[in-house]
Every structure is written in C-alpha cells, then in structure tokens.
A and B are shown apart, each in its own frame.
Chain A
Amino acid sequence: DAGVIQSPRHEVTEMGQEVTLRCKPISGHDYLFWYRQTMMRGLELLIYFNNNVPIDDSGMPEDRFSAKMPNASFSTLKIQPSEPRDSAVYFCASSPTSGYINEQFFGPGTRLTVL
C-alpha cells in the first residue's frame, strides 16, 4: 500500500493567493483528517470526514479555509485568500475504523509558506 499521499509537498505562495492542498487516503479507510502543525500551536485538528461527509469542522480557523471530500479517494483543503499566518505544515491522515478511534496513518505533509 502506498500510504497516505499528499501533494504538493512544498508550496510557496504570496499573500492573497488561493492555495489547494490535496490528499489521497489509504484505500478502504473510512475516516480522513486534516491537521495543521506550527511551532506556536503544535498539532491542530482542522476537520475530519467519515465516509466523505464532514463530521467536525470546529477546528477550521476561519472562513478562508474550506475542505471537501468528493469521493472516498480524494480530499482537498483550500485556503482563499492565503495569509502569512497560514504558513505551516498541513498533514492529512486516514483511519480504517468506525466508532472508537483506531490508529491514524499520516501522510508526509505539505509545507506551506505564504509570503
């Protein structure tokens, strides 16, 4: 299995631009999670999906952030417009379980730099 795949691995953009991060979860996993990691705030859960449906988006920082999961094998996290404070590493993770949480498998992350 290829594991969780994220693209791009690195993104450098200018303030005000739209940024789209992509994630392909492990085949057969029902849950998909988006996290943001910064030095100041650590690892934060932004949103998660179960069977392609958003379950909890309370961690999404503001309306500039949106996430979709159009099918079981693809999800996007979009920031529009981007700001320098959005600079972080964004991780996607997937999990095979239902009910009580099981292990999450993390992707390699996307390092976003907003100038």
Chain B
Amino acid sequence: AQSVSQHNHHVILSEAASLELGCNYSYGGTVNLFWYVQYPGQHLQLLLKYFSGDPLVKGIKGFEAEFIKSKFSFNLRKPSVQWSDTAEYFCAVGGFQKLVFGTGTRLLVSP
C-alpha cells in the first residue's frame, strides 16, 4: 500500500533561514509526487509536482524539491524563507486514481 512519511511535524525558523522538509514515500509502481501548501485558514494549493524527467523540480514562490529514487524521498527546499511562508506543507504521492497525503508539517517563520 502507498504511504507517505513527513518526519517533521513542526518547524520553526527565522526569516532568511533555509528550509528543508523531509518526505519519504512507499509505493511499488510509477509515482507522481506533489507538495501542497495550506496557508492559515485557506485550502490546499499546489506548490510543485514531479512526474518524470529532471529530478529537481522548481515550484512557485521559490520552492524546489528533489526526487531521489534510491532513497524514496522528495524533500522540499527553499534557500531563504519569509514570514509569509508560514503554513502547513503536505507531501503527497499519486498512484492510480488517488493521492495519499502525509500528515503535514507546520512551518512557523518568525520575523
């Protein structure tokens, strides 16, 4: 069965710090990988996605993620976070027909 693990449940950073959120997945077939963001009080929005090709994927707002097949990982990174990046971040793996979401990581960026 598919599963997604996000090991960091809460992360607190100062503005301008670098960010890396871990995501590991378990799935035996072809995977599509996603990072979604949920700003306070809002719905989930797509940050970036990986289907195939270059394993380094660039998304919106300066975020990027690297797919490392040998490690079953799809970590999210941003070189310098801003206060406005305070949100909850969800990693998801897609197999056939549906997505499986991780439990989410709450990021708090202090000004």
Contact = CB atoms under 8 A, between A and B. Distances in A.
Interface of A: 31, 33, 42-43, 45, 48, 50, 55-56, 91, 93, 99-109
Given A48-B97, A106-B45, 14 more contacts: A42-B103, A43-B44, A43-B90, A43-B104, A50-B97, A56-B97, A91-B44, A100-B32, A100-B97, A101-B32, A102-B32, A103-B49, A106-B36, A107-B43
A103 B34 contact: yes
B14 interface: no
Given A108-B42, A108-B43, A101 B30 contact: no
B95 interface: yes
Interface of B: 30, 32, 34, 36, 42-46, 49, 90, 94-101, 103-104
Contacts, number: 52
B101 A42 contact: yes
Contacts of A91: 43-44
Contacts of B30: 100
Contact of B97 (A31, A93, A103, A108): A31
Nearest to A99: B96
